[in-house]
Structure 1
Amino acid sequence: MSNQPYLDAQALADTIAAVSDNPNLGRVTFSLESTSGGGLRMQSQTGTLHQAGQADGSRRGRFSLQSDEPVSLLGTDSAVSPAEYVLQGLAGCYGVTLAACAAKRGLTLRKIDLDLDFDVDLNGFLGIDRAVRPGAQEIRVQVRLDCPGASAAQLQDLMAALEQASPIRDTLANPVKVTTRLAAQA
């Protein structure tokens, strides 16, 4: 455990000022390249990051991710499941968002612990019951914070700010346009 803040409040203020002065800096596109690895396994790598219309290829191929399903869901259990990646995406975003919101409020976070659950009903995915959506039925997050000196009211305010500001929570909680198209065969 470190006594250092999760996020440098001055760096955050500088970033807010830069994006306020040039809103185009706030426009970011993340990308991922993925290919099948046999069975239900997918192998992916980070792609080019675009910010303010500029391509940053330094992340392309820098990180790799694999996904599979548990044996009980017809996979080989050789990697994290897609549902677990969704939870990791939410957990990572909650960590960033909590750090930023705490820094903006002058609160010191020493530790963030999250327990996340993703409920899915296979009756929807398998087409057995068309009334059941194929996606998550509910995602639950239990948050524990080590934030010395913060009052209960400040922590409640921090939680409200988290739910308001988290990009991944917003993506999961609200409809977002997802475009899927078949590319030309190589």
Structure 2
Amino acid sequence: MKTQQAMTQPVMVNGLDVQAAFDTIDAIKADPGLARFQFRAANTWISGGTNRSTIRDFYGAGREDDSREEPFEFMNGEPPVLLGDNEGANPVEFLLHAMAGCATTTLVLHAAARGITIRHLSTKLEGEIDMRGMLGLDESVSPGYERIRILMKIEADCSDEMLEDLLDVARTQSPVCNTVCRPVPVVIERAA
């Protein structure tokens, strides 16, 4: 006979409590308003291409979340060839970091929900950009990435077909990848 403790032990797949994930999904199905989140970042220019972003609170699951005692701080910088001193990764590198993190988390979450154990997952990203666009030297050149390639090395307890499906889920369901892959209105305006 199982003890009470063994019966209430969470089922962990890929480091995630699967029942908690399904409970969250059920709560959102019952109250779609719980799915609305607003994430925030504040940024202060320091000098040249150096600036610092601070991230702390957000709105989600129907309330303000203040669970973070200290803010996360990220220094944005540039390499010397782009007039910086390597004060931090530059913003387009942070975009690659955000894409890698979000695609990884999305894939792992969906794998756990399907009962697929991931034994190893590593990601390498390459983004190609032509600086003539950002510098305004050629109007036919986009100032953003021309192409981003995400290479995911995965070892999992499933078929190759299921892995291909998970890769597609990472591309289509990752909020960061989805945001980058479709036009999203961005408004830049002067604050009071």
The two structures share one fold, judged by TM-score above 0.5: yes
Work out whether 1:165 is the aligned partner of 2:165.
no
Task: Say if 1:6 and 1:109, in contact at 8 Å, map to a contact too.
Answer: no
Where 2:151 maps in the other structure, the secondary structure is: strand
Would the alpha carbon gap of residues 5 and 52 (structure 1) be closer, same or farther in structure 2, given more than 3 Å must change?
Answer: closer
Partner amino acid for 1:102?
A
Where 1:100 maps in the other structure, the secondary structure is: helix
Q: What CA RMSD, in Å, does the superposition of the two structures yield over aligned residues?
A: 1.6
Report the equivalent of 2:190.
182
TM alignment of 1:41-120, pairs within 5 A: 41-59=50-68, 61-120=70-129
TM-score w.r.t. the length of structure 1 is 0.91
Aligned length: 181
TM-score w.r.t. the length of structure 2 is 0.88
Offset, 1:26: 0.6
Q: What is the aligned counterpart of 1:39 among 30, 43, 48?
A: 48
Work out whether 1:145 is the aligned partner of 2:147.
no
Cα distance per residue 1:78-137 (max 9 Å; x no partner): 111111110111111012101111012210012210000111101111111100110111
More strand by share: 2
Cα distance between partner residues in 1 of 2:64 and 2:169: 31
Report the equivalent of 1:156.
164
Cα distance per residue 1:46-99 (max 9 Å; x no partner): 142011452223337521111001110111211111111101111110121011
Cα distance per residue 1:146-176 (max 9 Å; x no partner): 21x3111111111122222111100000000
Unaligned stretches of 5+ residues in structure 2? 1-11
Cα distance between partner residues in 2 of 1:60 and 1:137: 39
Task: Say if 2:59 and 2:65, in contact at 8 Å, map to a contact too.
Answer: yes
Where 1:178 maps in the other structure, the secondary structure is: coil
Offset, 1:181: 0.6
Offset, 1:39: 1.4
Q: Which has the larger radius of gyration?
A: 2
Cα distance between partner residues in 2 of 1:6 and 1:102: 11
4+ long deviations beyond 6 Å? none
Work out whether 1:30 is the aligned partner of 2:39.
yes
Cα distance between partner residues in 1 of 2:102 and 2:15: 13
Bigger RCO (CA 8 Å, 6+ sep): 1
